[in-house]
Amino acid sequence: MVKLAEWRGKDVFRKYGVPLPRGAVARSAEEAESLTRSGAVPLPCVVKAQVLSGGRGKGGLVRFANSPEEARSAAASILGLTFKDEKVKEVLLEEKLPINRELYVSLTLDRALRLPILITSPHGGVEIESVPDSEIDRQPVDPFPGLTAYERRRAAKSLGLEGGPAKSLDGLLVGLWNAFQREDAELVEINPLAVVGDRLVALDAKVTIEDDASFRHPDYAEIRDDRTPLEEIAREKEIAFVQLDGNIGVIANGAGLTMATLDVLKELGGSPGVFLDLGGTDDPKKVAEAFLLMAQAKPAAVFLNIFGGVTKCDTVARGLVEAMSQVAPADRFPLVARIRGNNEVEGTTILRAAGVTAVPDLKESAQAAVEAARRAR
Amino acid sequence: MTVLVDHETRVVVQGITGHQGMVHSRQMREFGTQVVAGVTPGKGGTDVDGVPVFDSVREAVARSQANASCIFVPAPFAKDALIEAVDAGIRLATVVTEHIPFHDMLVMYHYARAKGTRIIGPNCPGIAAPGKAKVGIIPNMVFRPGRVGVISRSGTLTYEIVNGIKERGLGQSTCIGLGGDPVVGTTFLDALPLFDQDPETDLIVMVGEIGGTAEEDAAEYIERHFSKPVVAYIAGRSAPPGKRMGHAGAIITRGRGTAETKVAALEKAGARVARFPYEIPGLVQEAAARLVRR
């Protein structure tokens, strides 16, 4: 999932004709001053930190400015701050508008209905979770006709809009729907959507893009710069890599098996650290790659839980032993392996011969991994 | 017909000339499945292990009377492959392919549903009925014919659990791996009635995961309508609060979708919920023993 910063989300909105305040991004206090001085951003303006976490207003990351000097000092006070582990590198400067009302509009997926859903509420500008259900309208949208005119009229009614603002909403929703579909978004959200005189303006933009559609949108892939080098390598090798707080590294194949493995380790008093999920594959090459990747994460001990379905366990075991020999002795760690499936007896024998603790039972092997990590500490 | 597949199932493999397509066509045949055709555009006229390859699903169906498809086509082309299968009259399609954008899957699901085709998957191991047929990739070695139905959102965890059931001397009627994507063609709720009506299934094992509310919806159905014993397991109890689709996602689920809410809903519905996967075979054995006594 690629979560877009507000200004990038607004770039998407602009492309699809969703109305926005006039504004521009600044990466330095000087730039903030010159953007307001030149009139590129009309005054008075709002200066907003571009971070992905919510709660910017309360965190003091949204300021107002009446002059270029004030814009400069507002930007200077925000840029470089750290908000919820995220460094502020950019501010968005936008004209301050006379707001009549604040509304809420979003499009996302309803998994249970297997349909996109248009969510609207007349209560914008607050966290939507805090709005009572009775004040939220949910309109499932069939992907074939798309968001139809009658559905857009219903949305206007649910928001209490008539006349000019209702007309403005109609065009805005067409744009929002197109953005949702064509950009492969998981979520497009406008909160607040402001009524400004006769028209509507999207004051904020939350857009998340689905990773699986990156073959259609190579440009989004470049935006993600929040990965650690190890996460980057894992992504290239199509291995799911997640960093938790613990010290036991876990390698498993398949999301369900990985989660079940973590559940068991935790129940037995262990503390899972990095975990690598190879997906449904038991390809020995991938097991070996994951093992070498894990070695770089420097865990206290590693628990490997693989179900060999297509490949045979002895093949996986041989690949693993080969990979182990590539790790420098100083970087080695205790390994507990559980390889089940085709030829599991042969696989277990090969691993034991190489000095690996190989136990076929899930509970016993998890226990052994927890013990190994405890001793290593 | 048992649950979706039986001796009448005739499989066309879309993407048969790729590595996965080739390996699993072979395994499906070893399972006893009638794999009657393959499709790879541009490779019509060739064969894979004696299975004729056609350029289109329509030709494959015309020549081989295939009625089910197993799709291994890469994600960017999977939507097209599925629509082609639907248009050729295929009524059951297992989509093994992973990483299909959910916007594509929405179109695939609603198109297939409108035309009367059932999709299993995507990103799933498919369906298998031991002694009858397999449309998918679940390893043959875990199976043994029997009377336990298995419905699961997981892949390898399913193999693990099905294998555990076999090791206790029990067997399976039909096993369906639904796939773990946000949008799937067949959900627990879709699959449960099929197992309820299946005379060859005595009890079912349901393997769920955190995320979404499919297990809660299934629990509601089980409580109201399902007549057979249910053993369940939910993976991910220890997982840190996962990624959600922002605030809009939270108001759709409204506090549901966690391991706790799923376990509670299933227990309320009368299911025996295992805390760990290795408890499942024992619970299945107990449930089966109670059925015999009745």
Residues A107 and A86 in one domain: no
Which residues 49-78 of A have a C-beta within 8 angstroms of B?
54
Cis peptide before B122 (omega within 30 of 0): yes
Instruction: Evaluate whether A149 touches A125 at the Cβ level (below 8 Å).
Output: no
The pLDDT value given to residue A47: 97
Residue at a domain's end among B63, B88, B120:
B120
Chain segment A173-189, per-residue pLDDT in tens: 999 999 999 999 999 99
Cβ <8 Å between B235 and A256: yes
Residues B160 and B281 in one domain: yes
Residues B167 and B279 in one domain: yes
Q: Is residue A160 part of a domain?
A: yes
pTM score of the predicted model: 0.93
Choose the closest CB to B248 out of A112, A187, A253.
A187
DSSP H/E element including A370: helix A362-376
Which residues 345-364 of A have a C-beta within 8 angstroms of B?
361-363
Residues B108 and B160 in one domain: no
CATH, residue B274: 3.40.50.261
The pLDDT value given to residue B248: 63
Cβ <8 Å between B246 and A206: yes
CATH, residue A74: 3.30.1490.20
β-pairing, A62-65 vs A45-49, is antiparallel
Residue A341 with chain B: CB contacts under 8 Å: 139, 141-142, 159, 163
* pLDDT of A217 over the 50 cut: yes
Residue A128 with chain B: CB contacts under 8 Å: 247-248, 250-251
Q: What are the catalytic residues of B?
A: 247
Q: What are the catalytic residues of A?
A: 104, 189
Q: Is residue B84 part of a domain?
A: yes
Sequence-distant (≥ 6) Cβ neighbours of residue B4 within 8 angstroms: B92, B118, B120, B127, B174, B176, B194
* pLDDT of B17 over the 50 cut: yes
Q: How many CB atoms neighbour CB A301 within 10 A?
A: 24
Residues A237 and A203 in one domain: no
The reply to whether A233 touches chain B by the CB within 8 Å rule is no
Strands (E), A21-163: 23-26, 45-49, 62-65, 82-83, 86-87, 91-95, 101-110, 115-121, 137-140
Q: How many Å is the Cα radius of gyration of chain B? A: 19
Q: Is residue A306 part of a domain?
A: yes
Choose the closest CB to A259 out of B27, B139, B236.
B236
Residues A112 and A43 in one domain: no
Phi, psi (rounded to 5 degrees) for A27 = -110, 0
Calpha distance A96→A66 (Å, rounded): 10
Instruction: Evaluate whether B117 touches B102 at the Cβ level (below 8 Å).
Output: no
Residues A78 and A128 in one domain: no
Calpha distance B203→B132 (Å, rounded): 19
Residues A317 and A361 in one domain: yes
CA dihedral for B108, B113, B116, B117, sign (positive or negative) = positive
Calpha distance B236→A77 (Å, rounded): 42
- Joined together, the tokens standing for residue B40 give 């790879």
Chain segment A305-360, per-residue pLDDT in tens: 998 877 888 888 998 998 988 888 888 899 999 999 888 899 999 999 998 999 98
Chain segment A102-143, per-residue pLDDT in tens: 999 999 999 999 999 999 999 999 989 899 999 999 999 999
Instruction: Evaluate whether B44 touches B38 at the Cβ level (below 8 Å).
Output: no
Choose the closest CB to A186 out of B99, B217, B245.
B245
Sequence-distant (≥ 6) Cβ neighbours of residue A135 within 8 angstroms: A121, A122, A123
* pLDDT of B254 over the 60 cut: yes
Q: Is residue B171 part of a domain?
A: yes
Residues A83 and A151 in one domain: no
Residue at a domain's end among A76, A95, A114:
A95
Helix axis angle, A313-324 relative to A344-353, nearest 10°?
A: 20
CATH, residue B32: 3.40.50.720
The pLDDT value given to residue B243: 42
Residue A273 with chain B: CB contacts under 8 Å: none
Domain limits at B29?
Answer: 10-120
Calpha distance B120→B126 (Å, rounded): 6
Q: Is residue A77 part of a domain?
A: yes
DSSP state, A237?
T
Cβ <8 Å between A362 and B207: no
- Joined together, the tokens standing for residue B165 give 């059931």
Residues A51 and A85 in one domain: yes
Calpha distance A312→A352 (Å, rounded): 17
Cβ <8 Å between B138 and A116: no
Residue at a domain's end among A160, A190, A219:
A219
Sequence-distant (≥ 6) Cβ neighbours of residue A318 within 8 angstroms: A284, A350
Nearest partner of A142 among A170, A104, A175, A181, judged by Cα? A181
DSSP state, A40?
S
Q: Is residue B219 part of a domain?
A: yes
Residues B242 and B195 in one domain: yes
Which residues 287-346 of A have a C-beta within 8 angstroms of B?
307-310, 340-342
Instruction: Evaluate whether A370 touches A359 at the Cβ level (below 8 Å).
Output: no
DSSP state, A5?
P
Which carries the bigger pLDDT value, residue B252 or residue A25? Answer: A25
Q: Is residue B129 part of a domain?
A: no
Q: Is residue B130 part of a domain?
A: no
Cβ <8 Å between A263 and B237: yes
Domain count, chain A: 3
Residues A147 and A81 in one domain: no
Q: Is residue A233 part of a domain?
A: yes
A307/chain B closest Cα distance in angstroms = 6
For an interface test with B, the pick among A257, A312, A370 (most B C-beta atoms closer than 10 Å) comes out as A257
Domain limits at A57?
Answer: 22-95
Nearest CA in chain B to A2: B245
Calpha distance A27→A286 (Å, rounded): 41
The reply to whether A221 touches chain B by the CB within 8 Å rule is no
β-pairing, A91-95 vs A101-110, is unpaired
Distances (CA, A) of A256 to B163, B177, B188, B210: 15, 11, 16, 9
H helices within A144-209, ranges in order? 149-158, 163-182
Average pLDDT, integer, range B220-240: 92
Cβ <8 Å between B180 and A112: no
Instruction: Evaluate whether B100 touches B123 at the Cβ level (below 8 Å).
Output: yes
The pLDDT value given to residue A21: 98
Cβ <8 Å between A342 and B110: no
Helix axis angle, B259-268 relative to B214-224, nearest 10°?
A: 10
Residues A111 and A201 in one domain: yes
Q: Is residue A51 part of a domain?
A: yes
Residues B97 and B154 in one domain: no
Q: Is residue A7 part of a domain?
A: no
CA dihedral for A192, A195, A200, A201, sign (positive or negative) = negative
Q: First and final CA of chain B: distance in angstroms?
A: 27
Q: DSSP string spanning A109-136?
A: EETTTTEEEEEEES--SS-GGGS-GGG-
CATH, residue A343: 3.40.50.261
The reply to whether A186 touches chain B by the CB within 8 Å rule is yes
Residues A371 and A240 in one domain: yes
Cβ <8 Å between A255 and B154: yes
Residue at a domain's end among B89, B120, B151:
B120
Chain segment B78-117, per-residue pLDDT in tens: 999 999 999 999 999 999 999 999 999 999 999 999 999 9
Asked whether the ipTM of the predicted complex exceeds the cut of 0.90, the reply is yes
Nearest CA in chain A to B234: A260
Nearest CA in chain B to A131: B251
Cβ <8 Å between A255 and B155: yes
- Joined together, the tokens standing for residue B47 give 């064969």
Residue matched to tokens 């916007």: B103
The reply to whether A101 touches chain B by the CB within 8 Å rule is no
B194, amino acid identity: L
Q: Is residue A2 part of a domain?
A: no
Q: How many CB atoms neighbour CB A351 within 10 A?
A: 27
Residue at a domain's end among B120, B151, B178:
B120
Residues A350 and A245 in one domain: yes
Nearest partner of B184 among A27, A211, A113, judged by Cα? A113
Domain count, chain B: 2
Average pLDDT, integer, range A245-253: 91
H helices within A237-312, ranges in order? 255-267, 284-296
Residues B63 and B204 in one domain: no
Q: What is chain A's mean pLDDT, rounded?
A: 92
DSSP state, A357?
E
B59/chain A closest Cα distance in angstroms = 28
CATH, residue A156: 3.30.470.20
Calpha distance B139→B159 (Å, rounded): 7
Calpha distance A340→B97 (Å, rounded): 24
Residues B88 and B221 in one domain: no
Residue at a domain's end among A166, A197, A219:
A219
Q: Is residue B237 part of a domain?
A: yes
Q: What is chain B's mean pLDDT, rounded?
A: 93
Cβ <8 Å between A342 and B139: yes
Q: Is residue A5 part of a domain?
A: no
Instruction: Evaluate whether B124 touches B150 at the Cβ level (below 8 Å).
Output: no
DSSP H/E element including B106: helix B102-115
Sheet-wide strand order for A91-95: A23-26, A91-95, A45-49, A62-65
CA A169, distance to chain mean position in Å, is 29
Nearest partner of B60 among B28, B92, B90, B17, judged by Cα? B90
The pLDDT value given to residue B2: 76
Q: Is A193 in a helix, a strand, or coil?
A: strand
Q: Is residue B196 part of a domain?
A: yes
Residues A63 and A133 in one domain: no
Chain segment A90-102, per-residue pLDDT in tens: 999 999 999 999 9
Cβ <8 Å between A114 and B24: no
Helix axis angle, A6-15 relative to A163-182, nearest 10°?
A: 100
Q: Is B87 in a helix, a strand, or coil?
A: helix
Residues B269 and B145 in one domain: yes
DSSP H/E element including B27: helix B19-31
B41, amino acid identity: P
Q: A-B interface: how many C-beta pairs under 8 angstroms?
A: 184
DSSP H/E element including A339: strand A335-341
β-pairing, B92-95 vs B68-71, is parallel
Q: Assign B244 a pLDDT band (cuts: 50, 70, 90).
A: very low
